[in-house]
Structure 1
Amino acid sequence: MEAIVVIVGFLGAGKTTLLKKLVNNAVEKQWQPFVVLNDYENAQLDTDQLSDDIDPQYLKALSGSCICCSGITELREAVNRIPKREKGITLIEANGTTDACSLMGFLGVGINERFLPPIQISVVDIKNWQLRAEHNELEANQVQVSSLIVLTHENSVDKSRINDVKAQLSSLNPSANIISSDTLDLEQLPEVTPSQNQAEHLEHHKAHWASSSIDLPPLPSYAAIKELCNALPNSILRVKGCTIIGSEPHYTYFERCPDGEIYVRRYNGEPTTGAKLLTIGPGSSTLLLNTALNNALSGAT
């Protein structure tokens, strides 16, 4: 039977990085992973980044719906259409505001019998855990029914912070195994069993946020990336973009995480949806994005 592994975690916690690690680990061990990736806006931008590691026919992007409620039927159908493979494993990355408890309750119903009951991995950014003001409740919800909790950014904090966060996580989910992202190995996953932990109820509207996207023209310099990210208010918790910088022949991907950190890296290939700017968070709108873009372009010249 084929394992289904659902990866959840707050925006910017490191879910996609962990997903890439698991995909590469699977390929090295001659497993055949199938990846389903969900995001509010343009999930294809992230799945394109996996196309060098896995055949695109084994990648499925689900955009614009919340897979813990309105998109659950689409998710079930996508899973049930996954072809049978030797040594197959299905990896699902949920968007960063998913009501993880509801997702696991809904996903376990109506899945083909050739799949094992889904298990959930929560990715926790130990540096920013429970420092998200009004969004702390959602972040805590995302660990309560996970079988495995994977810690990221441990090198950014001291031992006291690590021990404190581990204690909080154990209190929220006593049955979960808590490990570092460095020690996670794919072969551990089929042995993990679904969590039996009872979760506290989350008002579901707290997992529903605004999102928006616009076409992104070439930017004149890397400084314009910083100008653009800084032109967006702090209520926007996640910023992603991909475009050409100056006269460079390749695309560049950038993101601003909820803590304000900006990360920039070369994008492999060309995005199939074209150059885009995407945001998630209260107040996201095309008007806001276009205003920020115009301000950034004028400030960078």
Structure 2
Amino acid sequence: MSRIPLVLIAGFLGAGKTTFLRALMGSLEERNIGFSVVVNDFENAEVDAIRLRSFDAEVQSINGSCVCCSSLNEFMQTLGDIEVPQGGVLLVEVNGASDLISLIAAITVRYECHRFTSPLQITMIDAQRWQRRGQHNELEHEQVQTSTHYMITHSDGADKAGLKRLHLAVQAASPRATETSADRMAEYLRFLCASSRFGSQENTTPLPLCLSHPAEQPHHHHHEDERAFTSMRVDLPFVVRRGDLEQALRDLPEEVVRVKGLCRLAELPTVPMSFQHVRPRAETWFLPMLGAVGIVPTGVIIGVGLPASQISSQFDRLPSAELLPEFKP
């Protein structure tokens, strides 16, 4: 039986997984390769999924924690049920705090995954923040170890010597990993889909990491101790000034690692926006969501030991904006 290529898109929180996924979807579409998509994230995976539904493909979202632990059964059921176009691929964006060793082990042994190849894993690696995560450095490093492919992101302004050191660190962590891009990955997947060898179990893609026995792998991925990631959802005003929102994000407590959400800006209220805020550099950027309708302004806060009441109070004080004069009817 021909097996379906399974592609995991991984990387630490804010490394650029969804941006890469959109680019890969576009590159596959250009090559007439069908695909379906699964997105997993904290609280409200729809924040990312809504950005992907402009493509003519099935996109399913899994809310909650990581697909390697508390959302694992839901994830496996989704893999078992989701329809993938004939001759196509399944793309999975995993939660930025996922333990990929545990996830790959589960995919290897679960019956729901028998129709898929052993997974390819593309890891996004943030050049500006690599191994600058403090207590989360170990998790970020572990996510690279299982990679079959990787892509360096946020490299603007990085010096050549620093990038060289980063490449060497990645190669040391995962010697068989290959640097890629959305276009190169799409071409590789085109080859896999067209290859007659893909129909044989003996010739499926090998696991990126040798696991002695998947069931014996320890689940040690920082979800059950003082470093455990948590999340919460906050409501935003129907319309907000960009400066007010950016200030509220900068003022969040240090426990926050990342914020993502949907909003309408007073400066451009006719175009819904998605936004990202990433620590420790407290950078915020906005992405227009052309064609999106019926969005609910919301934010998803991700961090460790979040002071929920303090954060909720802070967003409760975020002022609702009047439309700027040039946008008033």
* TM-score of the aligned structures, taking structure 1 as reference length: 0.90
Matched with 1:233 is 253
1:268-279 correspondence to structure 2 within 5 Å: 268-270=290-292, 274-279=296-301
Rounded Cα–Cα distance in structure 2 between residues aligned with 1:87 and 1:74:
25
1:1-301 correspondence to structure 2 within 5 Å: 1-55=3-57, 58-110=58-110, 111-179=112-180, 181=181, 184-189=184-189, 191=192, 193-197=206-210, 203-206=220-223, 208-246=228-266, 248-258=269-279, 259-270=281-292, 274-284=296-306, 286-297=308-319
Rounded Cα–Cα distance in structure 2 between residues aligned with 1:34 and 1:84:
6
Shift in alpha-carbon separation, 1:25–1:286, aligned structure 2, 3 A: same
Q: Secondary structure at the match of 1:42?
A: coil
Shift in alpha-carbon separation, 1:163–1:202, aligned structure 2, 3 A: farther
Identical-pair percentage = 29
| Aligned-CA RMSD value | 2.5
Shift in alpha-carbon separation, 1:249–1:155, aligned structure 2, 3 A: closer
Rounded Cα–Cα distance in structure 2 between residues aligned with 1:184 and 1:103:
25
Shift in alpha-carbon separation, 1:158–1:106, aligned structure 2, 3 A: same
Moved more, 125-134 or 218-227: 218-227
Rounded Cα–Cα distance in structure 2 between residues aligned with 1:234 and 1:172:
29
In our comparison, the structure showing a higher alpha carbon Rg is 2
User: Per-residue displacement from partner, 1:189-232 (whole Å, max 9, x unpaired)?
Assistant: 46564313569967333574110002211344111121111121
Shift of 1:131: 0.9
Q: Which amino acid aligns with 2:246?
A: K
8 Å contact 1:228–1:295 — kept in the other structure?
no
8 Å contact 1:213–1:289 — kept in the other structure?
no
Moved more, 161-170 or 112-121: 112-121
Q: Secondary structure at the match of 1:297?
A: coil
Q: Which amino acid aligns with 1:210?
A: T
Rounded Cα–Cα distance in structure 2 between residues aligned with 1:251 and 1:202:
39
User: Per-residue displacement from partner, 1:168-190 (whole Å, max 9, x unpaired)?
Assistant: 111111121234x3663312146
Rounded Cα–Cα distance in structure 2 between residues aligned with 1:269 and 1:149:
31
User: Per-residue displacement from partner, 1:3-54 (whole Å, max 9, x unpaired)?
Assistant: 0001110011010011001111111111111000000111011111111123
User: Per-residue displacement from partner, 1:118-139 (whole Å, max 9, x unpaired)?
Assistant: 2211110122100111110010
Matched with 2:325 is none
8 Å contact 1:3–1:90 — kept in the other structure?
yes
Shift of 1:272: 5.6
8 Å contact 1:44–1:272 — kept in the other structure?
no
Rounded Cα–Cα distance in structure 1 between residues aligned with 2:172 and 2:263:
43
Q: Secondary structure at the match of 1:241?
A: strand
Rounded Cα–Cα distance in structure 2 between residues aligned with 1:4 and 1:96:
18
User: Per-residue displacement from partner, 1:219-274 (whole Å, max 9, x unpaired)?
Assistant: 44111121111121232011112122227223222110123110012223446662
Where does structure 2 lack aligned partners over 5 or more consecutive residues?
Answer: 193-204, 323-329
8 Å contact 2:262–2:295 — kept in the other structure?
no
Counting matched residue pairs gives: 297
Rounded Cα–Cα distance in structure 1 between residues aligned with 2:65 and 2:306:
16
Where does structure 1 lack aligned partners over 5 or more consecutive residues?
Answer: none
Rounded Cα–Cα distance in structure 2 between residues aligned with 1:183 and 1:129:
24
Shift of 1:100: 1.2
Rounded Cα–Cα distance in structure 2 between residues aligned with 1:198 and 1:100:
12
Moved more, 35-44 or 166-175: 166-175
8 Å contact 1:231–1:296 — kept in the other structure?
no
